Amino acid sequence: MAFKFFHTPKPKQFEFKPRYYDPKKEELEQRKRELGLSDSSDPELRLRSQMQQRWRSERKEARKKSGTQRLIIFILLALVLIYLLFLRK
């Protein structure tokens, strides 16, 4: 009878092999999830997804608008500084 003082058991392996995999279907489902589309006819879920899409688009537009405004302000400040430093006598 042998004693095993420092024996550590090996972990059990998990071997799951899917029976069927359709990459096109997976890609389509991923796109649907990203766009917030659902197959269900529940009006509450449809309304919720439409609201989320609108809010996302409004946030994107607000970011673009604020970015262009910030750029214009920086350009104006740079022009004023250039005028004050170099062109004023």
How much helix, strand and coil, in percent to the nearest 5, is found in the chain? 65, 0, 35
- 80 φ, ψ to 5°? -65, -45
Q: Residue type at 19?
A: R
The predicted pLDDT at position 62 comes to 87
Residues of the chain under the 70 pLDDT cut: 1-3, 36-41, 89
- Reported pTM: 0.37
The predicted pLDDT at position 78 comes to 94
Q: Of 8, 17, 18, 54, which Cα lies nearest the Cα of 35?
A: 54
